[in-house]
Structure 1
């Protein structure tokens, strides 16, 4: 290492020592380590932690990958994992599904999350979010955000449409990721079991709306999600997602082709279907996910869940909260792709 490089490295190590390492609080009776005070000692310590060569780094990475793969294969072959009554395979979720999604979230969409503290650490809760994007990637990004940002790494159980589970491969993966049908019975079972469930009340109207209607919330169904929350006494957490509208701007809808294929819509975007498979690459929009303050259902009686007017009022409150937060975050955002 040259003298100039050493000086730069000494500065970096000293800056890291002063600004990046929180002071360690030692429990009573536990001996504290001798502090490293010399910059030379700090440099030696840092160099000792660094790979000596690119080849060593590659060999270490390959070795870690082999060990990880071997452990994963062992658990799958020996049945050392559990599947719950809804089909959640938490080992597969954390070992395969979420790791695949992380580069998309962190490098492509650069998702920023706020309000994660509004999701309880224990007990049931219902997250209600806006839905958009032509292809529902927002559900995947939402599940990843809850898992990775929450201190308890809670698993978000999305309530999805029938079409998701009828689609080959995707349906099976959705079950293994912990998701289930968007029906009151399944919603209540999850919430009573203390799970965090997620719902997109706009449904196909939300993800399939034209680009000109972006960030304008569509009608929220019949309020079934509110009834489930009231019957189980769990809080409702409004969630606003900005960025999903720009990934596949829907310019037109080929309705005859959609009816032929048995799907809700067949979108035409700036890249699809003109570029074929390349048109499936989403635009790298900048995403913001904000979890709002919980709306308590503790003040309602279970019988209130059957009162249409009461459910409409709560539904309207949730919708207005999400819409207001969307507008607030859109005003703060300077550019859809840079934030």
Structure 2
């Protein structure tokens, strides 16, 4: 297991300097790790064996397996319910009449690993954009002031550089902040868009997949239709055509067992809940961000919460003189700099704003 997922460990490293927030990290860290791990899992034969095994007379098993994997298998939707072994062979497996009975073909399983990896890359795009736009600014401003113990002379020099930069660029940081806000919007658009993408990928079944699975256990055992068997059937049918001795086309119906769907059905149940929760959290984050942009008083409260040990009057005066970009830079610094040092930075900024020299 560790050999398979060892390559994912690098994505879990904690950055020394934080340039985003917890909801943002759920997108580019947690979601990327989950999707890449699932992509590796569905391609790992040591855990699921052969992805497909088909049974049919007169056709070599390897040929039938390869053909059915490439050409797709099918089920009969109106035979999903019934007693297995009495009314039906397996859910969705039954004889049908061409042109009369509905037949549902399943081709998605060929693309699951690629789709999951593609989704992981999409989750990383806002992070990549923000890192590019951010350009390491916060890391350069922190200047190792995130350590609790810093040599006094070195600390004063670095504080002076930070304070001078902040005051020199006062009212010039709005574009920097709004680029981060754009990335937050992209996170929300991406996760909602991926829900629609997976719904299309699974033939319109994903949007209600999680709720269908939850309600399945409350139904009558003989009448209920297993949504996992409908979306991810473990046994399907496959029809192989070849020429007979006289040149006529012969048709061979086979049963196919899909062990890979045992994994797929669990993966997509988890992803349904994960994406719904992430969408809700991202929506709440956007509401929070809108409050930050529209309400200067709210920004003041947040800055006070970030530096409780600093005099409240100093924070209030600094906040009154800051635009949204200046506040954002200061708030980001407060998340990374040691609390005592950040208190001194606030004091130095206040004194210079008041026209006093820092001792």
Normalised TM-score (structure 1): 0.22
* More relative contact order, 1 or 2 (CA 8 Å, 6+ apart): 2
Please tell me whether Structure 1 or Structure 2 has the larger radius of gyration of its CA atoms.
2
Normalised TM-score (structure 2): 0.21
Q: Report which of the two has the higher share of helix.
A: 2
